[in-house]
Amino acid sequence: MFAGAAGVPVLALETRKQPGAKIRVSGGGRCNVLPSVMSVDDFSTHGSANAMRNVLMSWPLADVKRFFVSDLGLAMKVENTGKMFPVSDRSKDVVDALLAGMSRASVTLRGEARVASIQPGFVLTLEGGETIHTDRVLLSGGGLSMPRTGSDGATWGMARRAGHTVLPTYPALVPLLTAEADWQALSGLSLPVKLSARVGNKVVAETTNDFLFTHTTFSGPSVLDISQHFTKPESTATLHASWAPQDWDALLTQPGKRSIVTMIRDYVPRRLADTLLARADLPLERTTSELSREQRRRLVEILDACELSVTGSEGYKTAEVTAGGIPLDEFSLKTLESKRIPGLYVAGEMLDVKGRIGGFNFLWAWVTGRKVGQAIAKALEIG
């Protein structure tokens, strides 16, 4: 869109009949377009955090918001979660606004046009045999997540064949599987929880947000945000939950005849309180004064650092993004043009940068797409 607006003839090739499939299904069909606030800490990369910051700060969040509202005419609202949605709560309106912007920029969009190969000199061959010659190529085919939207990782293969590195990929922002019946029995229960990912005794990640038990998984924003530490290749991380921010050791040493389960129910839902006590192998009627030192220690650990058994994840089928990808250091940070293949650019999820839940990955897509569009216009001395 930005290259087209500067006068560059642009052809956008879309594998599906209708574009914007991932936008249409995101946010439960509402599309979380952007976060309302942002920090570089909301993103992660296997490479240089400074390089990632350099790219992110090239289009400040306030200016991205202004672009959607003023330039694209998309009315947006901020919800109490900090997420920004279209006022209409319809993801279709986001797609329509983007398509209208492309039309105003004279971008030609072709659906059902899958690229089979890219030859030196930028000769693109489509699956039907048609060839297209071009001066510049932008790869922005996404990752492997949500394959029902058309994502299949094929453009990573093109980049790899062209000479780029593709770091190991794995699902991120994905529910984690559990096989433990007592957790599965809590299906439907939701509460705010502090989660930590630990490797040995070291905490490698922490997050506090809503947590949801389902029939087979741990889910909710807190789980999605920390999930990539358990899906990455050869992960040895363990998942731990702090169910409520209390000084449990002090509470459990109070004298009196009040039952422990009644006290715990003051801070966590009844069903969870009963389950936690059962995991500590304590009867519901036990009082604080009846606890031995070892029983209190075990219960405090279950309340404040409860290890949750993770057997895997739901995989790419439900993952919102794919972690891994092409390292940023293989591109110019000013233009996202390849250092190895001049004239080739990459944007969005294909790059080794991922955001947490809340519109951050869309923000990365918008920022990198704009950067490439402007760079192509400048390279061709248009605009």
pLDDT at 133: 98
Mean pLDDT of the chain, nearest integer: 96
Four-way CATH pick for 2-170+321-379: 3.50.50.60, 3.60.21.10, 3.40.800.10, 3.40.47.10: 3.50.50.60
Give, in order, the Cα–Cα distances in Å from 194 to each of 239, 240, 244, 246, 357. 11, 8, 8, 12, 16
- Look at residue 360 and give its three-state secondary structure: helix
pTM of the model as a whole: 0.94
pLDDT at 382: 57
pLDDT at 383: 46
Q: Closest Cα to residue 11, out of 379, 376, 365, 383?
A: 376
pLDDT at 358: 97
Per-residue pLDDT reduced to its tens digit, 203-255: 999 999 999 999 999 999 999 999 999 999 999 999 999 999 999 999 998 88
H/E segment holding residue 377: helix 360-379
Provide the token pair at 350.
Answer: 């294909």
Cα 358 from Cα 51, distance rounded (Å): 22
All residue ranges of the chain with pLDDT < 50 are 383
Percent of the chain whose pLDDT exceeds 70: 99
* Residues 6 or more apart whose Cβ sits within 8 Å of residue 284: 259, 261, 274, 277
Residue ranges matching CATH 3.50.50.60 in the chain: 2-170+321-379
pLDDT at 90: 98
